[in-house]
Structure 1
């Protein structure tokens, strides 16, 4: 597994020699053709942070929080400790329906709910944070600076879990909030690099130079080159650019980029490969984590605290995140936007500058929202993404806690479950583009197919409520082995949704507004993802069963399907290109306008 990651990071000779550069859109823009080294730097951060997303947030953080709370918790009826020599579970007297609760802010809550509430708060704070900072990536060198700051701070929170013992379990929630906030915010900034890298890709620029026209990503006209020479090293991911069938000059002049445009195809391939490499890294670290857990379970450390082996795993995850962030720091170009001169007045106190930056970011988001609401396809897709992202986040957290609390799976078994889902996700990231091409599916059709498969998970879990199935003792997630096939479904579907939703939304963005719209995309994601876990947490507290959350999840998953079906990619792209022209004109007419890469003039 590690060898495949290292092989992907081998650097060939520079591919950018002799490749024409597109004209800069503002003073100081870096239009250097994207090199293989740079795209590998982009992949490297996905390899770094995806490990925390999968091994941390998706696996061991929920278990660690639940176990920390459990070691401090008491049974709801008997008030005896949930863990330890005095626990009723040790002598077989514990009631099957007796909940383990822990006191938090004067309330007794289920230990599983404690983990869900923590992640609910984390994604809410994450949404506020990414709005406050990530939109600033459009200016100066902030794009790369923010990526590195979020990466290093987030990795530190994972490593600091080594110091969190059961008596201070609540501090673990704070570390989770900070870590999840840094993770999501850094992915927003990372996503904002993708359209810029694609726009400067050597294969795209070569086609542009041969045809003598700007590609659709720059001025809205899709060129129609015939057969052209191709060098494998000229392409970021080593795949042949899409050939365009010849057409009449009239057709070429009036054409608009479709879902098969070279930019979208390249963006989808890079996005899918990035997700796949991240999953490869996550699987490798998961295997190391399981080996570490098995080794530590045979030592006195496990006897000192049941969470100590888990905390050592989180230390490993944090070290990995930090190490590969250094790789991105070295290989990824800054790709600066124009300077934000209005916020750099000499003599201004640093705290005032910071407040103005935050205020500017929120104003920029509001400006972006005002632009977005004029783009029907963007609005419809964002509503669908609001629901879909909430469902994905809720299923992941609920499944891990269900496996641990109701199926009574060991930490090692949960780790194997996570590996199963991650391997399937890696497969899905590479598989769905082939499925889409084989059946000639549009991007939104592929997303709908993924959602339909996703619905299998809660429906199967709900079978456990059917009386005659419950009497069988299997089916409906009554046995631990049943959750592994569902993990395969979850992984394959998540791999497809992660890559296709990201690249499909990129098609709808007005060119030049990448970072701002991806900030809105992530704000929509995280602005919804706190709802599902909180609702499931309330259901668990009310019923004492994690299984009760499947009813809510089943409804949540199907809701985005009609909305995704309504999105017209071609129309959305035309609207985005037209809006980009309007924004360019408004910037040119404004006295203090800045031709930024994705934000409107803050003084407009």
Structure 2
């Protein structure tokens, strides 16, 4: 694990401070001096206000980079390719519905030549298709439909568990449960053969659901780590109760953005390291001449799952529970599981009602709905386009993923410097990222112009052209990943981090089920993915004016003011107290210095 670097290098405070200010450092001793152990006012009885230490930050970083390994190497690279390959090995040509798309390597050379000749013509008019649940889909869109289903299920799961994570000791427990379950599902892909390719889709859905849940829980830790950091509590005590108009960035937002940026960067470093290892292993496995081409890919997913599980272990030791108020379940004839489920859905409904009262928060959620759908669809579209229209091999697709990942590392560490150099606020940085993201679909649309098509290159006509776009995509995501979640964390009511980050993730994943499904329909109906770039170009630009209208200072004041209107939090929260107003445990807390 790399040691924590100089935090000043990633400080994005819009008002640069002196480099000699020791309070800006993140490196803390495990036993801070007594003067720095003074904590903020508790939001509820028994709250863990222990100052955030370097050890705890390392636990948070490890959990994040472990999940990032699967996000990059699994979701972003080998999982969709493996699903497509499994479906292709089980599929038949659309032209006759009988001829297999791939002939086993043990077949005669003549049979292999005939099928290869038929399939070369099928690339244009007779796609390779499978029939899951009796419905014909192309093998190339099978992965997109799988991920669309995964994020839809993920939204339901997040609704069911996230508010409960605000109470008791469930936050860390759920984080570890989802991490190890997702890793196990990923490793189980080794057992999937072409004849049961649909089971691979189910395992992928489980892994993706767990991945999103892990990120939601990690996001819910972020405001707590920042608000309990000694530098934030010290600065909060020194700030006036009512900041002046010039104060647009709080110490907590500045620190959480810095922690978030570093977490994204370290996650990308771990992911690209595992990705390189996977490529080397894939080259070695190719020499083994397996009968099924999906076998090496499934072995790679086994490795990715092992990395996810083992790299999560430090979080077990280092990350504190950071529990919320005690959740008291009233006597009921319903089983405990259903009582918790009722509480969770009621809490999300209450949280949604609360969010509707926060104009700046709801504006951001609308913008994030559109932006996250565009982000997810761009990623899936790029892999599908590279695989089916540019005919990149598995290793070339992996190299594309590494290109985007390395660029993401640079972006995660470069955007704070860019923001500081040009005095950009967090919102302005997000707007800049959106504009850069627009380059990708516009470049793809160039391929429709006759003069460009006549050149034979530009507009994504040659395989090499997708790699510079991978650089752009990675660099932009390095900024959006950290700035968006930190920006959102500043305009939500204190004391309800998990519930509101659940809305953040539900908005993210709920929208992400739409775009990939639309692209899948385009592939099945049109036979080409290029028209989807027009859809993406519009989708990326839609959130731009919405983000521009958001006032983070006003949003922060609205969120804190709304939380202060609630009755102070009690030791317990009862389900029968859930009515039209917010639950005490969700919105009753106060954050010192917010």
Alignment TM-score > 0.5, same fold = yes
Verify the 8 A CA contact 1:130 1:185 in the aligned structure 2: yes
In the alignment of these two chains, the number of paired residues is 552
Mapped partners of 1:368, 1:27: distance in 2: 22
Q: Is residue 69–residue 169 contact of structure 1 (8 Å, CA) maintained in 2?
A: yes
**CA–CA distance in 2 between the matches of 1:597 and 1:455?**
41
Quickly say closer, same or farther: Cα 1:159–1:104, change in 2 above 3 A. Answer: same
The CA distance in 2 between the partners of 1:105 and 1:589, in whole Å, is 47
Deviation per CA, 1:112-152: give whole Å up to 9, x if none. 11110000000000000011012111100000010010000
Q: Which residue of 1 aligns with 2:423?
A: 440
Instruction: Within 5 Å, give how 1:465-484 maps onto structure 2.
Output: 465-484=448-467
Contact 1:16 1:34 in 2 (8 A): no
2:297 to 310, 313, 329: 310
TM alignment of 1:103-122, pairs within 5 A: 103-122=131-150
**1:232 corresponds to which residue?**
none
Verify: 1:394 aligned to 2:373, yes or no: no
Asked if the contact 1:135/1:599 (under 8 Å) is kept, the reply is no
Between stretches 10-19 and 574-583, larger displacement belongs to 10-19
What is residue 259 of structure 2 aligned with on the other side?
270
Match of 2:120 in 1: 94
State the 1:400 CA deviation. Answer: 0.7
Partner of 1:339: 326
Note if contact 1:126-1:526 (Cα within 8 Å) is conserved in structure 2. yes
Q: 1:289 aligns with which of 256, 259, 278?
A: 278
CA distance in 1, matches of 2:515, 2:269: 28
TM-score (normalizing by structure 1): 0.87
Counterpart position of 2:227: 199
1:236-289 deviations in Å (ceiling 9; x for gaps): xxxxxxxxxxxxxxxx64537943221111010000000110000000000000
Q: 1:433 deviation in Å?
A: 1.1
Quick check: 2:351–2:499 contact (8 Å CA) kept in 1?
A: yes
CA offset at residue 11 of structure 1? 8.9
Q: Which residue does the alignment assign to 2:77? A: 59
Q: What is the CA distance between 1:27 and its match in structure 2?
A: 1.7
Q: Distance in 1 between matches of 2:401 and 2:243?
A: 49
Pick one of 136, 139, 143 that aligns with 2:171.
143
Q: Quick check: 1:515–1:597 contact (8 Å CA) kept in 2? A: no
The answer to whether structure 1 residue 30 and structure 2 residue 48 are counterparts is yes
Do the aligned partners of 2:163 and 2:502 also contact (CA within 8 Å) in 1? yes
C-alpha separation in 2, matches of 1:472 and 1:390:
32
**Aligned-partner SS, 1:476:** coil
1:17-64 CA distance string (max 9 Å, x none)? 312122322122111111110011001101110000011001111100
Q: CA deviation at 1:87?
A: 6.7
1:281 and 1:67 mapped to 2: Cα distance? 26
What does residue 71 of structure 1 align with? 89
Please give the alpha-carbon distance, in whole angstroms, between the structure 1 residues aligned to 2:45 and 2:164: 17
8 Å CA contact retained: 2:326, 2:573: no
Conservation of the 8 A alpha-carbon contact between 2:412 and 2:475: yes
Q: In the alignment, is residue 16 of structure 1 matched against residue 35 of structure 2?
A: no
The equivalent of 1:405 in structure 2 is 388
Q: Which runs of 5+ in 1 are unaligned?
A: 212-221, 224-251
11 and 471 in structure 1: CA distance in 2 versus 1, 3 angstrom threshold: same
Distance 1:88 1:558, change over 3 A: farther
Change (3 A) 1:470 1:43: same
Shift of 1:478: 1.1
Change (3 A) 1:255 1:93: closer
CA–CA distance in structure 2, aligned partners of residues 94 and 427 of structure 1? 40
1:349-369 Cα offsets, whole Å, 9 max, x none, are: 8x7111111110110001011
Deviation, 1:296, is 0.2
- 3-state DSSP of counterpart to 1:105: helix
Shift, 1:206, TM fit: 3.1
What's the counterpart of residue 133 of structure 1? 161
CA distance in 1, matches of 2:587, 2:449: 53
Cα distance, 1:103 vs structure 2: 1.2
**Superposed counterparts of 1:411-490, under 5 Å:** 411-490=394-473
CA apart distance, 1:587 = 7.0
Deviation at 1:89, TM superposition (A): 5.8
| Alignment of structure 1 residues 225-244 onto 2, 5 Å | none
